[in-house]
Chain A
Amino acid sequence: MTMRQRIELTVNGRIRSVEVAPHHTLLDVLRDDLGLTGTKECCLVGECGACTVLVDDLAVDSCLMLGVEADGASVTTVEGLATGDKLHPLQEAFLETGAAQCGFCIPGQLLAAAALLANDPHPTRAAVEEGLAGNLCRCAGYEQIIEAVVVAARAGASES
């Protein structure tokens, strides 16, 4: 019954034009229409943060946004963090501190952390906890994740 609608959005710096079903979320569009499966589907109610992406530089749960709502927006996914072969400082810090265990929550954690550091380049530990409160880790690797963000902030992650 429903017509697909054409939207144009910028994903990781590339302009993409895609026909989407109105009832598909941005998460569906990224994973199924654009093949960007780094963004993870998990709770689908906005509690776990595994699907976190940046929309116009703001961290959002892509499971709680329709694809059509992203028409005209600029979206950054985990695939857009590294530059060529060079990892983003946050990715380096996550490796260095052993913050990734099973890895499933890490794309969302990285983008929430990137948004945090863009606003607050040298956050307190409390600010890191609050900034990542919307990202759950079932391996309970919170200490290493928080440490990774602090390490990346020290290394000047927000300037890259």
Chain B
Amino acid sequence: MRAFAYERPTTLQGAVALLAEHGSEARLLAGGTDLIIRLRDGSIAPRIVVDLKRIAELDGQIREHDGGLTIGARAVMTDIAADGRIRRDYRALAEAAAVVGSVQIRNRATLAGNICNASPAADTAPALLVYGARVIAAGPAGTRRIPIDAFFVRSGVTTLARGELVTAIELPRPTSRPGSVHLRRTRRRGHDLASVTLACAVRADGVTQLAYGSLGPRPVLVSDETGLLADPTAPELAKMRRLEALFVGASPSPRSMRASPEYRLAMLHVLGLRAVGTAIERLAQGSVPR
């Protein structure tokens, strides 16, 4: 690994000042499970690494806020997967956090880092999309909220402005508790990146939201407002046609080693239909985990 300077600011202002001073020569360190791999393989070579873990204003707490939840930038996947409120009201996010990497990875990897890394295969991204999460970012111009759908650009690129960093992720209060689920396809059980990662939320008002990743440069949110997908009595064939129309924008890379584009597209439709079924069941049950 190439040498770099290491700074451990204790205030948010200190971190923002370091980013302003060093610009693209600086990299932020939260959990490090993506960053350290890239530092070692030489794909990035910053002059300075800014460790966010001693900043008083940034913590790993999950707080209730206007009926929703605010997840601190240092919250790790293990804590998100285990949080009773997330498991109850944002179940797809708990399920997604529970399958990121391995125990070792989940004990370090943060939700904020997962979205800032902006991998198209990020397992938490589809869940955040179906719940309409907002990213809270702090920078030289102050604090702003970015809808998660306006956050992802492509692999490794977000709409964070220069000098901005994520301080928390907000989950708005669900209008009515939806039935929701996260599903994914991997090459093997255990520790693997997703060939398809997908979240689905079916609301009591008949709106179904689906978000998928690993099928293009960024995770994608689509919505069915016709009520067809949410209808437990609608024929499966009609639902499959509807899903085909909704998933028309999926564009898996032909160069990926993990799975062929044809396989990914086929599995997207299989998982989509399965997820709609599970979400409908959970909506009927009140979405309480076993």
Q: Which residues of A contact B (CB under 8 A)?
A: 1-3, 5, 21-25, 44-47, 49, 52, 58-61, 63-66, 68-69, 112, 115-116, 129-131, 133-135
What is the bound-complex CA distance between A157 and B78, given in angstroms? Answer: 23
Whether B5 is near chain A, meaning CB under 8 Å from some CB there, is: yes
A61 touches B3 (CB 8 A): no
In the complex, number of A-B residue pairs with CB atoms less than 8 Å apart? 94
**Binary interface encoding of chain B residues 1-25 relative to chain A, with 1 for a CB under 8 A from any of its CBs, else 0:** 1111110100000000000000000
Closest to A45 in B: B37
Partner of A133, one of B5, B39, B102: B102
B6 touches A52 (CB 8 A): no
Residues of A within 8 A of B2 (CB): 23
B191 touches A47 (CB 8 A): yes
A64 touches B51 (CB 8 A): no
What is the bound-complex CA distance between A105 and B125, given in angstroms? Answer: 33
Partner of B36, one of A21, A63, A131, A135: A63
Residues of A within 8 A of B1 (CB): 23-25
What is the bound-complex CA distance between A27 and B107, given in angstroms? Answer: 17
With A23-B39, A65-B36, A69-B51 as contacts: A46 and B6 at CB distance below 8 Å: no
Whether B142 is near chain A, meaning CB under 8 Å from some CB there, is: no
What is the bound-complex CA distance between A2 and B191, given in angstroms? Answer: 35
Partner of B108, one of A1, A44, A60: A60
Residues of A within 8 A of B104 (CB): 46, 49, 52, 59-61, 64, 112, 134
Partner of A112, one of B5, B51, B103: B103
Q: Which of B96-151 contact A (CB under 8 A)?
A: 101-105, 107-108
With A64-B33, A65-B32 known, 16 other A-B pairs at CB within 8 A are A1-B3, A2-B6, A3-B5, A23-B39, A46-B105, A58-B107, A59-B107, A60-B108, A61-B33, A66-B29, A69-B53, A112-B104, A115-B103, A133-B102, A133-B190, A134-B102
